[in-house]
Amino acid sequence: MASSLLTTPSQTLAPTPAAARARGYSPGAAQVSFSSPRLPSRRALRVRASVAIEKEVPENEAPTTFLREDGSGAGSGSVRERFEGMIRRVQGEICAALEEADGSGKRFVEDVWSRPGGGGGISRVLQDGNVFEKAGVNVSVVYGVMPPDAYRAAKGAAKNGAADGHKAGPVPFFAAGISSVLHPKNPFAPTLHFNYRYFETDAPKGISASKFRNIIL
């Protein structure tokens, strides 16, 4: 599994190739810094991330589902399965509507990727049309294990450094969503962006499920 570890406070992240194509970025053009240059160095905001960033693996075609057949995924009728079905259906509907509105006869180009830790996504891009300079509509369905530090950051750390007063171990998570960025050719027309997401976690290892509440955003 190809991965990199973020350990330095000023570590920067460049967009993934698929995300860069969808958003119209050029390699190295847009990066996000984890430190704030506006504050004195002794008071600079520093974020240390100990999360392995998995590299996307290109795939030839989209699978029927990105979920595993584990009782809560494919074929289970679960919220996860229904949400994936909804965002993939909506992606197709939005792309069809945008192609019709553009009127150039051009079609969205699709890239499919998978994530070694679980899940994957579908990126679709239309560019150089009559109405849209570039339009991207992407879906992703990913899951795996969230490190304790990331879980505490999401929940808000208690005084003892643990979320909700518990010293949680690795936390199983699931996240899925659809997002879009539309860049019109008309310079007086605004760029449009939207996203719709679902996120949940299971009980952290070492904590009773009866004392844990799923996070759903």
Please, is 159 exposed, middle or buried when counting C-beta atoms within 10 Å of its C-beta (0-12, 13-18, 19+)?
Answer: exposed
Please tell me which residue in 46, 89, 193, 211 is annotated as part of the active site: 193
Q: How many CA atoms are closer than 13 Å to the CA of 119, on its beta-carbon side?
A: 19
pLDDT at residue 141, as a whole number: 97
pLDDT at residue 163, as a whole number: 46
pLDDT at residue 172, as a whole number: 86
Mean local confidence (pLDDT), 4-22: 43
pLDDT at residue 7, as a whole number: 33
- Yes or no: say if 138 and 180 are a contact pair by the CB < 8 Å rule: yes
- Yes or no: say if 163 and 4 are a contact pair by the CB < 8 Å rule: no
Quick check: 143 pLDDT over 60?
yes
Rg for the chain, CA atoms, rounded: 20
- Yes or no: say if 66 and 57 are a contact pair by the CB < 8 Å rule: no
Quick check: 85 pLDDT over 80?
yes
Q: Which one is predicted more confidently, 73 or 202?
A: 202
To the query of whether residue 183 is one of the catalytic residues in this protein, the response is: no
pLDDT at residue 92, as a whole number: 98
Q: Which residue has the tokens 């976690």?
A: 201
Quick check: 114 pLDDT over 80?
yes
Quick check: 130 pLDDT over 70?
yes
Residue 145's pLDDT band (cuts 50, 70, 90) = confident
Nearest to 202 by CA among 71, 100, 96: 71
Q: Which one is predicted more confidently, 39 or 140?
A: 140
pLDDT at residue 4, as a whole number: 33
Mean local confidence (pLDDT), 84-92: 97
pLDDT at residue 36, as a whole number: 39
Q: In the chain, what are the helix, strand and coil shares in percent, each to the nearest 5?
A: 20, 30, 45
Residues 181-203, buried b or exposed e (16+ Cβ, 10 A)?
bbbbeeeeeeeeeeeeebebbbb
pLDDT at residue 171, as a whole number: 83
Please, is 139 exposed, middle or buried when counting C-beta atoms within 10 Å of its C-beta (0-12, 13-18, 19+)?
Answer: buried
Amino acid at 39: L
Contacts of 214 (CB under 8 A, 6+ apart): 200, 201, 202
In this predicted model, what pLDDT tens digit does every residue of 164-209 receive, in sequence order?
555 667 788 899 999 999 999 999 999 999 999 999 887 666 665 5
pLDDT at residue 41, as a whole number: 43
What the block records as the tokens of 187 is 């310079």
| DSSP designation for 163 | B
Q: What are phi and psi of 18, to 5 degrees?
A: -65, -40
Quick check: 125 pLDDT over 90?
yes
The Cα 51–Cα 170 span in angstroms is 12
Amino acid at 32: V
Q: What are phi and psi of 155, to 5 degrees?
A: -90, -25
Mean residue pLDDT of the chain comes to 74
Domain 56-211 falls in which CATH fold?
Answer: oxygen-dependent coproporphyrinogen oxidase (3.40.1500)
Domain residue ranges of the chain, discontinuous segments joined by +: 56-211
